[in-house]
């Protein structure tokens, strides 16, 4: 029996509010960097706006739950691409903008924050390449984070415009 030697990695991308047309080039740059880094099965950039367009696309399948009235979480816009590290399943990288309130039984209910965001997870041994891609995304203005093995690396620009990487460790109980 062979055990999977890949590391589980959770990742997130963030960007302040912006027009969807401004997000497209921000995600296209990491997509091109993914080519340079040797990622495989690289897909085209997919940018979708409005509920109908998103739900009609294969991406929208994830929002087709039994009752959208119960879980009304269709984003307003998405821009992403699909790629694979040499040893990972396909992963999606991009940004989605969700509404800041939803209507439930005729009542407006606050929902989320007014930021573009994306989360995902993969399994890989190639943490270096994935880290380089997250670092590059931060260079072009998309804050990123990746978590694995009890640690999170946050990539963002400092006040001088340089990418800084902050390392955070999960809290470990004292009795371990």
What is the structure's pLDDT at 62? 72
Strand 163-169 to 151-157 pairing: antiparallel
Please report, for the chain, the start and end positions of each structural domain, with discontinuous segments joined by +: 7-169
Confidence of residue 16 (pLDDT cuts 50, 70, 90): very high
Give the distance from CA 126 to its chain's centroid: 18
| pTM of the predicted model as reported, rounded to 2 decimal places | 0.86
* Rounded Cα–Cα distance for residues 102 and 117 (Å): 17
Residue 18 has pLDDT above 70, yes or no: yes
Instruction: Write the pLDDT tens digit of every residue in 129-151.
Output: 999 999 999 999 999 999 999 99
Instruction: Write the pLDDT tens digit of every residue in 58-86.
Output: 877 776 664 555 555 678 899 999 999 99
What is the structure's pLDDT at 141? 96
Instruction: Write the pLDDT tens digit of every residue in 19-65.
Output: 999 999 999 999 999 999 999 999 999 999 988 888 888 877 776 66
């Amino acid at each position: 029996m062979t055990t999977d030697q890949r590391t589980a990695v959770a990742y997130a991308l963030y960007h302040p509010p912006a027009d969807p047309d401004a997000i497209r080039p921000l995600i296209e740059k990491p997509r091109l960097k993914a080519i340079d880094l040797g990622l495989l099965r690289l897909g085209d950039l997919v940018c979708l706006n409005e509920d109908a367009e998103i739900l009609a696309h294969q991406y929208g399948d994830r929002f087709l739950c039994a009752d959208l009235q119960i879980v009304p979480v269709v984003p307003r816009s998405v821009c992403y691409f699909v790629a694979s590290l040499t040893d990972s399943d396909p992963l999606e990288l991009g940004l989605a903008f969700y509404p800041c309130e939803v209507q439930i039984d005729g009542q407006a209910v606050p929902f989320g924050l007014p930021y573009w965001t994306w989360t995902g997870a993969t399994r890989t041994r190639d943490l270096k390449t994935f880290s380089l891609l997250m670092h590059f995304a931060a260079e072009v203005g998309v804050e990123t984070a990746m978590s694995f093995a009890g640690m999170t690396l946050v990539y963002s620009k400092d006040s001088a415009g340089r990418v800084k990487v902050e390392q955070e460790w999960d809290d470990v109980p004292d009795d371990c």
